[in-house]
Structure 1
């Protein structure tokens, strides 16, 4: 029964960062299973009722491969960084129609000195990006309410990439043109490492996810998804 993470998880990530090679990882594979993957999957299982409370259309999947837990192996085929392993834990609870990390979701990132949760949609596909921009253009009020209401701004800050100029077809004088220029519609909330070790960790995370319900609902509406 999951209640909280252990400091051994963060320590393993520190050790992996200092020894990011296949030989070391193979020698410590059982440590990865015991200190990282097993507790991460237990957390995902424990979050199922909490995520359902935030939205019944987002899913938790505690599969070892292809579920909510992102794989530790990096895809280095097109990267200048050839280090083979990710030195963070990434967990995403995606919308039920989501196929990959670009789908709307709730996210937990655990990395030494960089722990946070995220909400929204990161690098959406061109069609989805266009739909979100058009929805903001047509319904600026609900979007502004979603990103400016106090329960949200108390914890979250909008992040991600934006265009320098307005996208084609959008009026540069639109009051929310800076929002329309976004290429990512995500918001981040930092988490203290000590919070990982609190018995109410799942409830804490779910509570903060809940503060982003208006933003997630707006994005789902833009994409024709249920929330």
Structure 2
């Protein structure tokens, strides 16, 4: 990819310092530095958005709009530190009512890109499980593909320890039926994040999510007979 936008080391270093000085006086004093680093991250997010938009339809309008606020919502949290210690953001897919989304998390020693369905409602979860019970091989084909395994390893997300209501504990798809969340995650080292090739790596990671997204979007937009419910 020509003219790749790189993430500078200073962008990871700044939030590492913030982690050790997570208070308003320090942040206010260093806000000019923060704004410089935020601009780097927004430029990267914008470049990634433009490339990803060539392969998927997205609602997110700009890199600036994709990046989350640095300020934490501490109203209901025991942790009262005021600032996040990572750069995070997401792109919303516009392909269906139940579309899933792309997420990025950049942090020194803990950077990853993810996609999926964090909190399916009861009806959607039941629909997904019904599909697995009816035909789990189609989904396993995606999970077992070379590209998926090399990029994401395995499907992740919270799972039940017991059998979901309405399904047999001996069902051959019980491992899939226990999932309550459906997440796929690719982790990156600091060296990879700071590489000039990272934009391309990030793009390829998101592109490799498409078979998973396409499968889930089709399931959630149809009934068990394949008829549209939108």
Q: Fold match, TM over 0.5?
A: yes
Q: What 5-or-longer segments of structure 1 have no aligned partner?
A: none
Per-residue deviation at 1:6? 0.2
Do the aligned residues in 1 keep the contact of 2:56 with 2:93 (CA within 8 Å)? no
* Match of residue 68 from structure 2: 70
* Match of residue 53 from structure 2: 52
Deviations 1:28-87 (A, max 9, x none): 12211111x21221112211332124423x3443364xx321221111122111111110
The structure-2 alpha-carbon separation of the partners of 1:21 and 1:97, relative to structure 1 and needing over 3 Å to count, comes to farther
Matches of 1:30 and 1:51 in 2, distance apart?
Answer: 30
Question: What SS does the aligned partner of 1:186 have?
Answer: strand
Do the aligned residues in 1 keep the contact of 2:96 with 2:221 (CA within 8 Å)? no
Per-residue deviation at 1:4? 0.7
- TM-score, reference length from structure 1: 0.87
Q: Of the two, which has the highest radius of gyration?
A: 2
Query: 119, 122, 131: which is aligned to 1:135?
Result: 131
The alignment of Structure 1 onto Structure 2 pairs a total of residues equal to: 220
* Match of residue 213 from structure 1: 210
Do the aligned residues in 2 keep the contact of 1:54 with 1:213 (CA within 8 Å)? no
* Match of residue 201 from structure 1: 198
1:43 aligns with 2:41: no
- TM-score, reference length from structure 2: 0.86
Per-residue deviation at 1:103? 6.1
The structure-2 alpha-carbon separation of the partners of 1:54 and 1:129, relative to structure 1 and needing over 3 Å to count, comes to farther
Q: What 5-or-longer segments of structure 2 have no aligned partner?
A: 223-227
Do the aligned residues in 1 keep the contact of 2:96 with 2:217 (CA within 8 Å)? no
